[in-house]
């Protein structure tokens, strides 16, 4: 039964803002079966993180699971299961798992990780009371010293006091997002997950604000220099 | 900015919420089910001034909950998850 | 300075007669008491005296006349409704409005402008086509027009909404759509009622309605008790407070509706422009101010506070259509109360309580109905029987599941 109810997602994912990146002269690279813009034509030279950097990571593998046995199932598979609501933990091979509810979890691989995709393939084979929650979220990463100012202009939450590593469900420029404050290369960063149909709009809004603060849209290669070739 | 306290997500700007109307007894609990009672349930509302128990929805997280609000002063007095009104919201 | 104005500066006393008298005190008894000195209540008093010879009437107003929805609306009058009952009723109101300035000998600045309901998608254009066909079938002057027609009539409009919003595909056009000076409507009816013997008591709040054996016996006010056998509740956004006094259940819920005006400009906008997608309707008053309103506030509230959210959203919509307004200032913003019904039609006529009449459920659409409501409610009170034009709007329709669905005709899909 579970097999039929939990079809694995189709293989290749394409970012919902693929066209916007293409228009910025994206240099594409396939990593773990998904395509990333590693560098954009107008990016500043060098590899510094600009005042504010906006990066699309919508290709990352995601998995949502829920059900009475979801926590147990994840833990048996070697995942460090977050105990509290909205808490997040690193996945063994990079990426994060976030507790979205009493019995609901969201996993996203790191750029080189594969745990979420492995688990996704296993889900449904003999796992009772664990069900897939379909996720095709867009993932945006915002970082740099002025990323706080971008959030201040678009969201009602004061992130100066936000607790890193805990997800927050809120609205950014009017779009419902799950948001994870984190630290990348010693810089404050924010990961935004959102319904892909809103992604082109939110991307456009964020780009305007990021650029008005002297920031840039950057490829994944700048934030993750050890990206596999 | 007006703030509403979601029992799950904490204090948030009102723009993150959707109003779901007054909390009303489930009509299926009624034994009679006469047309007039059904019409009363379907159409009539307690639109009078006073403190109301209402459904509110935190949009980004998908959380439905109950708020007690004075519909004249617009003060939220308590919020809690449905069924949890005994415990302090 | 014209002499007429100078007179005011030189006179110690007010040089012109008041629009209506201010009676010293309430009488012990009236043939009829009307709660609410808005256009509807004053209109009912006027027609009771003029058409039914009932002049022992007190209109009780807790604030000042026209201080409710009557003086707060965006003053749009139109009849492009969708049900036979609605279309007939509002068309009668439009016909009454056209003659009202002459009847009052008082200028209401009733001004037919043409009313556009913009369609921002092919689907919406199809809906407007359907509305036009239903309207034509009901004898209402209404048609679908294309972009070129809109541009020719409103040259300042940006048909592509600056690229920020979906472009305009066409519009429903209703040539008789009009605006009027709303407080003058209240004053006109007040003066006419007063001249025919009715009393208008401002600063007099009704605090209770006395019902004995299912019949009205009088009303309690903050200035004492009045005996009467007929009471009309014409308090629109305050109706739930009055129905509570008599124990009537209704579907009414109250939401604020907000509006604003800009600083006055030279006349440039002749038409009334409505965009459901942008939640906006807009016209230019005879004073030159742009008058604009939005959709209902998103939750129930019996308070006339206004919000920054509204001013922001409203400005954004106005700029999408008319980018050149960028430097124009907002002069003031305000809110009124709207008593919403589930079918977007009013609640009018007799009630299960003998002698208690209701005129409510005016939501966001009641200004245009002022004359016809006054007239039909007066008839209903005089005959203790619903007037033909309002039979379908009786409160009992909900118990019979016979709604009069006009949501599709609401201007911005509240
Ligand atoms: C912003 C806004 C825009 C609108 N735009 C339009 C439009 O363009 N076209 C349209 O047709 N309609 C419009 N409307 C709706 C319209 O304004 C109302 O439906 C209409 O004015 C109702 O008139 P009324 O005479 O019934 O009530 P009101 O004018 O509201 O009068 C009711 C009166 O009752 C008094 N009262 C209340 N309680 C008591 C009491 N206990 N004792 C004594 N007196 C009491 C109040 O003080 C008030 O003066 C709009 C409304 C708003 C708020």
Residues C204 and C168 in one domain: no
pLDDT in tens, C114-138: 999 999 999 999 999 999 999 999 9
Residues C237 and C203 in one domain: yes
What separation in angstroms does the CA of C300 have from each of A84, C77, C115? 35, 26, 29
The DSSP bridge partners found for residue C170 are: C119
- CATH code for the domain in which residue C164 is found: 3.30.9.10
Give the least confident one: A66-70, C164-168, C229-233: C164-168
C398 and B39 in contact by Cβ < 8 A? Answer: yes
Mutate to test the interface with B, among C313, C351, C395, C399 (most CBs of B within 10 A): C399
Mean pLDDT of all residues in C19-25: 93
Residue B87 inside a domain? The answer is no
pTM comes to 0.92
The residue range of the domain holding C34 is 26-73+183-252+343-410
CB B16 within 8 A of CB A156: yes
CB C344 within 8 A of CB C394: no
* Composition of chain A by helix, strand, coil, percent to 5: 25, 30, 45
Closest residue by Cα to residue C202 from C63, C69, C46: C63
Alpha helices in C53-138 (DSSP H): 84-104, 122-137
Collapsing DSSP states into helix, strand and coil, what is residue C171?
strand
Mutate to test the interface with B, among C238, C302, C402 (most CBs of B within 10 A): C302
The DSSP bridge partners found for residue C171 are: C118, C145
**Over chain C, what is the mean pLDDT?**
95
Residue C123 inside a domain? The answer is yes
Q: For chain B, how many structural domains are there in total?
A: 1
Show the 3-state SS of C321-378. Answer: HCHHHHHCCEEEEEEEEEEECCCCCCEEEECCCECEEEEECCCCCCHHHHHHHHHHHH
Residues C161 and C276 in one domain: yes
Show the 3-state SS of A154-209. Answer: HCCCCHHHCCCCECEEEEECCEEEEEEEEEECCEEEEEEEECHHHHHHHHHHHHHH
Site to probe by mutation for ligand 1, drawn from C73, C188, C285, C345 as the one with most ligand atoms within 8 Å of Cβ, is C73
Atom 36 of ligand 1 has which residue's CA nearest to it? C36
- Strand ranges inside B1-89, DSSP E: 3-6, 10-13, 17-22, 51-58, 63-70, 76-80
pLDDT of residue C12: 79
Residue C84 inside a domain? The answer is no
From first CA to last CA, the distance across chain A in angstroms is 39
Chains that touch A (3 or more CB pairs under 8 A): B
- What gap in Å lies between CA A91 and CA A81, rounded to an integer? 9
- Output Rg (C-alpha) for chain A, integer angstroms: 17
pLDDT of residue C247: 96
β pairing state of A175-184 and A104-109: unpaired
Asked if pLDDT for residue B89 goes beyond 50, the answer is no
CATH topology of domain A62-133: Alpha-Beta Plaits (3.30.70)
Is any ligand 1 atom within 6 A of the Cβ of residue C36? yes
pLDDT in tens, C72-117: 999 999 999 999 999 999 999 999 999 999 999 999 999 999 999 9
The residue range of the domain holding B25 is 3-80
CB C234 within 8 A of CB C381: no
pLDDT in tens, B9-35: 999 999 999 999 999 987 777 666 678
Give the tokens for residue C28.
């012990």
- What gap in Å lies between CA C218 and CA A163, rounded to an integer? 63
Residues of chain C with pLDDT > 70, as a percent, come to: 99
Q: Look up residue A19 and give its DSSP letter.
A: H
The number of C-alpha atoms within 13 Å of C409 and in the hemisphere containing its C-beta is 28
- CATH code for the domain in which residue C33 is found: 3.50.50.60
CB A145 within 8 A of CB A215: no
Q: For chain C, how many structural domains are there in total?
A: 2
Q: Look up residue A17 and give its DSSP letter.
A: T
Q: Is B73 on the interface with C (CB under 8 A)?
A: yes
Q: Which of B1, B58, B59 sits opposite A156 (nearest CB)?
A: B1
CB B58 within 8 A of CB B8: yes
Is any ligand 1 atom within 6 A of the Cβ of residue C73? yes
β pairing state of C356-360 and C231-233: parallel
Phi, psi of C241 (to 5 degrees): -70, -35
- What gap in Å lies between CA C55 and CA C86, rounded to an integer? 30
Residues C258 and C326 in one domain: yes
- What gap in Å lies between CA A120 and CA A131, rounded to an integer? 11
Asked if pLDDT for residue C302 goes beyond 90, the answer is yes
Q: Which of B8, B12, B61 sits opposite A156 (nearest CB)?
A: B12
> Is this complex scored with an ipTM above 0.85?
yes
- What gap in Å lies between CA C380 and CA C376, rounded to an integer? 6
Q: Is B8 on the interface with A (CB under 8 A)?
A: yes
Residue C145 is inside which H or E element, if any?
strand C143-145
Sheet holding B17-22, edge to edge: B17-22, B51-58, B63-70, B76-80
At which of C314, C338, C362 does a domain end? C338
The DSSP bridge partners found for residue A62 are: A108
* pLDDT-based confidence at residue C16 (cuts at 50, 70, 90): confident
CB C356 within 8 A of CB C348: no
β pairing state of A53-56 and A216-217: parallel
CB A22 within 8 A of CB A205: no
Residues C168 and C34 in one domain: no
- What gap in Å lies between CA B58 and CA B51, rounded to an integer? 21
Closest residue by Cα to residue B44 from C354, C240, C232, C362: C240
CB C370 within 8 A of CB C185: yes
Residue B53 inside a domain? The answer is yes
pLDDT in tens, C147-165: 999 999 999 999 999 888 8
At which of C290, C306, C338 does a domain end? C338
Domain(s) of CATH 3.30.1360.120: residues in chain A: 17-58+137-223
Q: Which of residues 4-43 of B touch C (CB under 8 A)?
A: 15, 18-19, 35-36, 39-40, 42-43
The DSSP bridge partners found for residue C220 are: C208, C225
pLDDT in tens, C332-367: 999 999 999 999 999 999 999 999 999 999 999 999
| C250: nearest CA partner in chain B | B44
* Composition of chain C by helix, strand, coil, percent to 5: 35, 25, 40
Q: Which of B9, B13, B15 sits opposite A169 (nearest CB)?
A: B9
Residue B85 inside a domain? The answer is no
CB C235 within 8 A of CB C38: yes
Domain(s) of CATH 3.30.70.1400: residues in chain A: 62-133
Torsion C160-C161-C164-C169 (CA) sign:
negative
Q: Burial letters for C72-86: b for 16+ Cβ neighbours within 10 Å, e otherwise?
A: bbbbbbbbbbbbebb
Residues C219 and C350 in one domain: yes
Mean pLDDT of all residues in C393-414: 87
Residues C162 and C49 in one domain: no
B44 and C401 in contact by Cβ < 8 A? Answer: no
Asked if pLDDT for residue C245 goes beyond 80, the answer is yes
pLDDT of residue A2: 42
Residue C262 inside a domain? The answer is yes
CB A119 within 8 A of CB A81: no
Atom 19 of ligand 1 has which residue's CA nearest to it? C366
Phi, psi of C131 (to 5 degrees): -60, -45
Residues C324 and C260 in one domain: yes
| B45: nearest CA partner in chain C | C251
pLDDT of residue B22: 95
* Composition of chain B by helix, strand, coil, percent to 5: 15, 40, 45
Backbone φ/ψ region at A145: left (φ over 0), alpha (ψ -120 to 50), beta: alpha
Residues C213 and C196 in one domain: yes
Asked if pLDDT for residue C267 goes beyond 70, the answer is yes
Give the tokens for residue C301.
């509230």
Q: Which residues of chain A have pLDDT under 50?
A: 1-9
β pairing state of C32-35 and C143-145: unpaired
- Which residues in B lie closer than 8 A to residue A177 (C-beta atoms)? 60
C252 CA to centre of ligand 1 in angstroms:
14
Residues 6+ apart with CB under 8 A from C120: C161, C165, C166, C167, C168, C169, C275, C276, C277, C278
Residue B49 inside a domain? The answer is yes
Q: Which option is the CATH number for A17-58+137-223: 3.90.550.10, 3.30.1360.120, 3.10.180.10, 3.20.10.10?
A: 3.30.1360.120
From first CA to last CA, the distance across chain C in angstroms is 45
* pLDDT-based confidence at residue C221 (cuts at 50, 70, 90): very high
- CATH code for the domain in which residue B29 is found: 3.30.2270.10
Q: Give the closest-approach CA distance of C315 to chain B in angstroms.
A: 18
Q: Which of residues 69-108 of A touch B (CB under 8 A)?
A: 85
């Amino acid at each position: 039964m579970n097999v039929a109810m939990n079809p694995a997602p189709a293989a290749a994912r394409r970012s919902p803002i693929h066209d916007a990146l293409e228009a910025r002269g994206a240099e594409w690279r396939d990593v773990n079966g998904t395509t990333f813009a590693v560098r954009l034509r107008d990016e500043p030279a060098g590899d510094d993180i600009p005042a504010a950097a906006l990066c699309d990571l919508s290709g990352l593998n995601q998995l949502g699971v829920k059900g009475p046995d979801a926590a147990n199932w994840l833990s048996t598979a070697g995942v460090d299961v977050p105990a509290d609501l909205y808490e997040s933990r690193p996945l063994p091979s990079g990426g994060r798992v976030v507790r979205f509810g009493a019995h609901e979890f969201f996993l996203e691989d790191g750029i080189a990780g594969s745990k979420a995709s492995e688990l996704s393939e296993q889900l449904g084979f003999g796992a009772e009371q664990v069900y897939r929650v379909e996720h095709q979220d867009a993932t945006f990463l915002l970082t740099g010293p002025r990323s706080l100012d971008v959030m201040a202009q678009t969201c009602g939450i004061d992130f100066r006091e936000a607790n890193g590593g805990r997800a927050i469900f809120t609205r950014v420029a009017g779009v419902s997002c799950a948001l994870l404050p984190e630290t990348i290369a010693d810089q404050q960063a924010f990961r935004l997950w959102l319904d892909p149909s809103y992604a082109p709009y939110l991307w456009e809004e964020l780009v305007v604000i990021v650029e008005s603060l002297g920031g840039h849209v950057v490829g994944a290669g700048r934030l993750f220099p050890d990206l596999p070739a | 900015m007006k703030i509403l306290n979601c029992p799950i997500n904490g204090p948030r700007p009102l723009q993150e919420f959707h109003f779901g109307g007054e909390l009303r007894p489930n009509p299926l609990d009624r034994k009679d089910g006469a047309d007039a009672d059904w019409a009363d349930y379907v159409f009539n509302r307690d639109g009078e001034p006073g403190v109301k128990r209402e459904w509110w929805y935190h949009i980004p997280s998908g959380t439905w909950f109950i708020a007690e609000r004075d519909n004249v002063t617009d003060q939220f007095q308590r919020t809690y998850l449905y069924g949890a009104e005994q415990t302090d919201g | 300075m014209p002499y007429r104005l100078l007179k005011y500066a030189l006179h110690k006393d007010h040089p012109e007669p008041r629009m209506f008298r201010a009676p010293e005190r309430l009488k012990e008894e009236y043939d009829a008491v009307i709660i609410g000195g808005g256009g509807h209540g004053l209109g009912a008093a006027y027609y009771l005296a003029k058409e039914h010879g009932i002049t022992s009437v007190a209109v009780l107003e807790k604030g000042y006349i026209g201080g409710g929805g009557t003086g707060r609306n965006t003053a749009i009058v139109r009849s492009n409704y969708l049900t036979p009952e609605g279309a007939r009723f509002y068309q009668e109101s439009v016909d009454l409005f056209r003659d009202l300035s002459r009847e009052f000998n008082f200028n209401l600045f009733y001004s037919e402008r043409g009313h556009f309901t913009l369609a921002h998608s092919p689907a919406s254009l199809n809906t407007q086509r359907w509305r036009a066909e239903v309207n034509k079938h009901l004898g209402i002057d209404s048609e679908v027009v294309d972009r070129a027609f809109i541009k020719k009539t409103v040259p300042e409009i940006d048909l592509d909404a600056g690229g920020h919003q979906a472009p305009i595909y066409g519009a429903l056009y209703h040539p008789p759509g009009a605006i009027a000076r709303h407080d003058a409507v209240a004053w006109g009816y007040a003066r006419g009622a007063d001249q025919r013997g009715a009393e208008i008591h401002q600063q007099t709040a009704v605090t209770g309605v006395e019902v004995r054996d299912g019949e009205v016996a009088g009303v309690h006010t903050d200035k004492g008790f009045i005996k009467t056998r007929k009471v009309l509740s014409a308090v629109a956004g305050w109706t739930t407070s009055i129905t509570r006094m008599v124990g009537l259940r209704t579907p009414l819920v109250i939401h604020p509706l907000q509006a604003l005006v800009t600083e006055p400009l030279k006349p440039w906008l002749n038409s009334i422009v409505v965009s459901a997608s942008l939640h906006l309707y807009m016209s230019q008053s005879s004073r030159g101010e742009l008058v604009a309103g939005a959709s209902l506030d998103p939750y129930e509230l019996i308070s006339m506070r206004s919000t920054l959210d509204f001013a922001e959203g409203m400005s954004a919509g106005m700029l999408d259509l008319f980018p050149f307004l960028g430097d124009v200032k907002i002069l003031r913003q305000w809110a009124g109360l709207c008593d919403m019904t589930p079918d977007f039609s009013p609640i009018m006529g007799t009630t299960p309580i003998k002698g208690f009449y209701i005129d409510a459920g005016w939501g966001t659409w009641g200004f245009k109905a002022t004359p016809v409501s006054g007239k039909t409610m007066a008839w209903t009170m005089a005959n203790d029987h619903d007037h033909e034009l309002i039979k379908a709007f009786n409160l009992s329709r909900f118990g019979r599941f016979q709604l009069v669905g006009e949501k599709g005709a609401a201007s911005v899909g509240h």
